A and B are shown apart, each in its own frame.
Chain A
Amino acid sequence: MEGLIIFIISIATIVAIYSILSMALNIRWGFTGLLDFGIAGFFAIGAYTSAILTSPASEEIVFGFKHSLGYGFPFIVGFLAAALAGALAGYLIGTPTLRLRGDYLAIMTIGMSEVIRFLALNEKWLTRGAQGIRNLPRPLSGHSVILDTLFYFILVLIILLILYFISQRIYNSPLGRVLKGIREDEIVTEALGKKIVRFRMLSFVTGAAYAGMAGSLWVHYSGSIMPHEFAPDITFLIWVSLVIGGIGNNKGAILGTLVLIGIIHQGTRFLPTIPGYTYLIPGLRVIFIGLILIICLRFRPQGLIPEKAVKMGEEI
């Protein structure tokens, strides 16, 4: 019984963390129309920043490299640093790439995401390469397993709600209007006096910060970090979540994540591995998700929760 409760809370935690990623992508694509295939990269940057800053100090020889990273900072430092690192990376990557047209941006972002993964894999002095970093502390732990899991979930949930609130505020503000304008028709928005590059960058960097924070939360949930976790597969899952849920609105993003990650991805984790066909179930799972994406685009492109027009009250 206890095992089942822990399982459910764990899935809820994962869904919550991925929801932050969905909101990050939503700010970029849903609000602003930036075709971003590189969300996994910023996830990785936040994750590694938090991991490196919080892992216990060590002087080891790993693959012949002296690894003395690990500063043992508390979680909160790792978390905030992850947000900042994400934002900074967003600014650096965004500066040359945000002037590009839509499909070029998609290609550049996936390229950057892969470059980041290569860096994580090869810069062993920083990231311990494929072996990864382990023994990452989970905040609020030190009690029974079930309470530890629960406390962490509540922490993630609180952060999710705060970020949701901020994202909603942005959407319903003049800033959100400009972002939507850019999404709908960039030429008009520019003709009305808005500097497009500045707003694209704002959207991109905010999304990057969100993804970075998600990365930090993820890493302290799982306790370890390895480069292969940040392959484009994550970007793919988040995209499908967003498409299912409804592009352009945060409720849709969270619902889509719940459905895709919660039910389909994690909910099938318990399926047995068929001996001799190790990759059958995992492979079928991704194929199924791919099919859902295409079917959803074809039959319900507006998603489960379509975007509602902002009806402004006359009495703001």
Chain B
Amino acid sequence: MLLLSIGFGIIMGGVLALAALGLSLLFRTVKFINFSYGDTLALGAFLAFLFNVTLGFPMFLSILITIILTGIVGLIIHKIVVKPLKENVKAGPLTLLIATMGVAFIIRNTILIIWGPDPKMYKVISGAAMKLGPFMVTPIQLTAIIISVSIMILIYLLLQYTKIGKMIRATSDNIELARIRGIRTENVVTWTWLISSGLAGLAGVMVGLIGSVDVNMGIEMLLVIFASVIMGGIGNPYGAVAGAMIIGIAMELSSAFAWAEYKVAFAYLLMGLILLLRPRGLFAR
């Protein structure tokens, strides 16, 4: 029973890490918390449902289209909401947090209007659970974690070795310096939004695969993503990944021991505890 929880915790943690990576990456570059990230994730889950179930596309294709579309949604948020506020009223990070809260509710209610409040399931071939080492996993769960980990490695390689990755890192560290060195920081910010929101969409599909798709998943996931990101130290994407694994496993363990409904609450209390002891997170830079 314990192993089952840890096993699912690892899988959940892996998917959560993917989501946390996206948020953390964006924060490092734009220096404010995008409150609509959770609902972008939810949108991804629902879009995949649209393509996979309603339109009957194969899952793989649905995921691909979803990532592109949610990336574009992120782009729209940047161009229409964030950029005008920053440029015209010199909005600071707290104001942008409030504004993106508005975006979150807009997205959530759009989902509500189109799809309603009932949970949805994807059309995928579910297999029976198999034994993998000490754990039991279903093929879907295995696929989800493999995809999540692969994409995270891909992002790491992108950041470390590609030109765009280096530009993103330079802009995140010091935007003025990057500009002086000739980097088109406006493009970098645009790309970061695309990547971050695309990751959100992908993570949303993953969550839908291992769990379910429903209109409230945005805020629920957001809370847990926050817990992961803050645990790891908000400027540190890899810390966020570590934080997510910890939170994922801790949450599943707590539900094994007692209060399954309090999983999220437990994650929050854990985060609160860490913040008390180390206010800048476990791995703050």
Contact = CB atoms under 8 A, between A and B. Distances in A.
Contacts of A104: 230, 234, 275
Interface of A: 35, 37, 96-97, 99-100, 102-104, 106-108, 110-112, 114-115, 118-119, 121-122, 232-233, 236, 239-240, 243, 277-280, 282-284, 286-287, 289-291, 293-294, 297-298, 301
A66 B107 CA distance: 41
B103 to A, nearest CB: 7
A286 B105 contact: yes
B154 to A, nearest CB: 28
Nearest to A119: B265
Interface stretch (B50-58, B92-100, B168-176, B204-212): B92-100
A103 B95 contact: no
Given A107-B226, A107-B230, A283-B113, A298 B89 contact: yes
B122 to A, nearest CB: 22
A174 B50 CA distance: 58
B113 A103 contact: no
B94 A287 contact: no
16 contacts: A96-B276, A102-B94, A104-B230, A104-B275, A106-B33, A106-B94, A107-B33, A108-B272, A115-B265, A115-B269, A233-B105, A282-B109, A293-B99, A293-B101, A297-B98, A301-B95
Interface in B102-136: 102-103, 105-106, 108-110, 112-113, 116-117
Q: Mostly helix, strand, loop or mixed at chain A's interface? A: helix
A122 B89 contact: no
What 3 A-B pairs come out closest when comparing CB atoms? A283-B113, A293-B102, A290-B106
Contacts of B101: 37, 236, 239, 293
B59 interface: no
A108 B265 CA distance: 11
Given A107-B33, A121-B261, 14 more contacts: A99-B279, A102-B93, A104-B230, A107-B223, A108-B268, A114-B268, A236-B102, A282-B109, A284-B113, A286-B106, A289-B102, A290-B103, A293-B98, A297-B85
Interface string B253-285: 000000101101100110110011001000000
A63 to B, nearest CB: 13
A289 B226 contact: no
Nearest to A232: B219
A112 B275 CA distance: 14
Contact of B109 (A96, A114, A277, A283): A283
A279 B102 contact: no
A247 B251 CA distance: 38
Contact of A297 (B91, B106, B223, B271): B91
A112 B268 contact: yes
Contact of A35 (B97, B269, B271): B97
Contact of A301 (B89, B106, B108, B261): B89
A297 B89 contact: yes
A103 B94 contact: yes
The listed residue with most B CB atoms (<10 A of its CB), out of A103, A277, A301, is A103
